[in-house]
Amino acid sequence: MAEFISDPVGQSVPRVDAYDKITGAALFTDDLQFGPGLYYGRLVRSPYAHALIRSIDVSKALEMPGVKAVVTGEDVPARIGLYLVDRPIFARDRVRYVGDPVAGVIAISEDIAEEAAQLVVVEYEELPAVFDPVKAAQPDAPLLHPDLGEYKVANFIFPEPGTNISEHFKLRKGDVESAWPRCAAIVEDAFRLPHIQHVPLEPHVAVALWEPSGQVTLWTSSQSPFAQRDLIAQSLGIPHGNLRVVSPYVGGGFGGKAGVSTEVYAVAMARVVKGHPVKLRMTREEEFIGTTVRQVLVAHTKIGCDAEGNLLAMETEYYFGGGAYNDYGVNIARAAGYSCTGPYNIPNVKGDSYCVYTNMPIGSAMRGFGMPEIHWGIEQIMDQLAEKIGMDPAEFRRRNCVKTGDTILTGMKMPAIDLVACIDKVTEAINWGKKEQPSAPHKKRGKGIAIMWKAPAMPPNPGSSAIVRFNEDATINVEIGAQELGQGAFTVAAQIAAQALGVPYEWVRVSAPVDTRYSPYEWQTVASRITWSMGNAVKAAADDARQQILALVAEHWDEDPDNLDIKDGVVISYKSEREQPLKGMVIYGLPNENFEGWKGGPIVGHGKFMPTYVTNLDPETGQGTRAVVHYTVGAQAVDLEVDTETGQVEILKIASAYDVGKAINPDLVLAQIEGGAVHGMSSAFEALKFDERGRPLNPSLVDYRIMSAVDAPQEIHGDIVETPLEDGPWGARGVGEHVMVQTAPAIANAINDAIGIRFSDLPLSAEKIFLALQR
């Protein structure tokens, strides 16, 4: 059995019995590696969607053999949150959704903790609940957060105290009312998207150790180790230097492991059993309802164009059902607001985007961050407008899509992109305009297209940092705080360092796991920002190390550094044609003449990056100089068949093209495109379902079905467009989330092409399609 040992600063840490063969990272493969003192936690959750807590009796649970402690909101009277600090760690006065944690039980085994959790007696007084975001936004709706006006909030988020509206973003451009009479075609409709779940293969799991000395360590699968350190430290009053977050590779994130969800419970429970690590692991059912979900959206959208197909006006209201707590969700509504037109240049716009409290699970970040939701309606309306004026849908998009230098809806100038090239590539790949024959008489075949944009949705000043260190043999360790989610962040970091330094890629190692005590700072691994932001930091660190090397060798050779270069790990002079291998000199330096002393020393490069140019937006109009750092744009086209006897949809081909600025690793970009196509396809058919009291009906992989390999399209075609970004490393921008944003509306447009029926609500279930065909 493994025992605890002391690290260099005297903190007890688990002895490591195994290491990753590639990265050298410590592996904690089972509970024994946290020592015999490991305890287990289970959460006591509310059975009601909305209720007052009258009393909590933990006495019977504490009497159970093996139970060490029970924690309630009285023990942890604190809130936590990213943009809006609205979430109590454990519910105190009231619960706000089915599954809201009210207590945590700590025991010597998970089974005992689970059994003891059933013995905690909570007396509730049930209150009226509200589940629909439009109803929740009304003045007469049950008020879920009476103290909203007292919550700490970011300066760019605008809650409306006394209501359930946690964020209201307003966008005003031009004169919408004067534009409607000039429209030859107008389409107006309401669209609805349900809650869906991230469904990571690896559930949320955390182990927390609170030392008697006050040192705290949290081991967790996380996209946001540094943000978790910051938020948990603030909430629980821990000095940041005393809280260490260690996060190994993440077994699926998709936004669900961003910010803080269940990790804070493990830390709060560890505080009452100091010296013992406490492990908290979510069951699959808890993963569905007790972590976070994608928010519901109800959209009311009206768009008009002239007879030539030029878009003239748009008016939209977005109601995001943010669930019980909106600490992250408020920024989703904000992002939807400042991007509410989708990737179109529309001169007159009125947009209102609301995040609204409901008695549903917590709505938070999910891949796409509000963009799949708003594009669902926008892209269907664009098809309908094109049909009304007799224009091809692809040509309609070419005419109206945003282009480099356009003044977009917030008043910002559009950075360099080429969305028309993306449209051209997918229409060519799908044989757009050619009517294909179905595979059977009872099947109908159709094609659809949709385009998208997405900006990294984040504060104006999220930073990245990196360190580049050499070993004696000139191999390199790159230290970053960005997380590897399977998207290839570590591969890209190694490539960028190798390219900037002039060494073979094989010489580079990326240090893992991410450890807030030793890793350089990274805001979060979210928003498809890592290649761009972390990449800039790694490049800066590598450039710093490179300049140190060239300066040292230039001094040694008495040459101008501008005449020197590094190729394949060797410093070369274009003037004297001398060579100096990096091996040895990057640690030991170089000797003076006749070895009369030495110059140089260990080469360590430091780099950082933070955008400094994003400005505030006017709270009444949403106008400003620079709303976001940049946008990534793309297009998708779908070829499918609908079985008219069953309503079943078979996706035959998805073609995707995205402007990535510069593909640092084209294979990884294409892998994202393939995975995103399947993920986006799956999102068109998924839905979490609840009964009339807010209780989940399908919180399992038996009843909540996601797309798998057998459901994947027969063909997924990917194309890359490269229009360099002004401040990306070699012009690169992110593409991780964008690849699923417009898949659902592309499928809906193809279904309409096949059977002539439109669907405004997701999911696109076979039952729904079959019944529509019958009608």
Query: Is 737 part of the annotated catalytic residue set?
Result: yes
**Exposed/middle/buried for residue 478 (C-beta within 10 Å: 0-12, 13-18, 19+):** buried
DSSP codes joined into one string, 635-649: EEEEEEEEETTT--E
* Nearest partner of 199 among 315, 271, 284, 275, judged by Cα: 284
**Exposed/middle/buried for residue 205 (C-beta within 10 Å: 0-12, 13-18, 19+):** middle
Query: φ and ψ at 600, to 5 degrees?
Result: 100, -140
Rounded Cα distance between 154 and 86, Å, is: 12
Q: Are 364 and 259 in contact (CB under 8 A)?
A: yes
Using N-to-C axis directions, what is the helix angle for 489-501 and 535-557, rounded to 10°? 20
The pairing of beta strand 185-193 with beta strand 296-305? antiparallel
The amino acid sitting at 79 is R
The pairing of beta strand 464-470 with beta strand 476-480? antiparallel
- What are the strands, taking DSSP E only, across 612-742? 632-643, 649-659, 715-721
- Asked, as a colleague might, if the bond just before 513 is cis with ω within 30 of 0, I would say yes
Query: φ and ψ at 32, to 5 degrees?
Result: -60, -25
Determine the longest span between alpha carbons in the chain, in angstroms. Answer: 95
Q: Which of 484, 686, 722, 737 is catalytic?
A: 737
The amino acid sitting at 581 is P
The pairing of beta strand 443-454 with beta strand 348-357? unpaired
Q: Are 370 and 527 in contact (CB under 8 A)?
A: no
Catalytic residues: 737
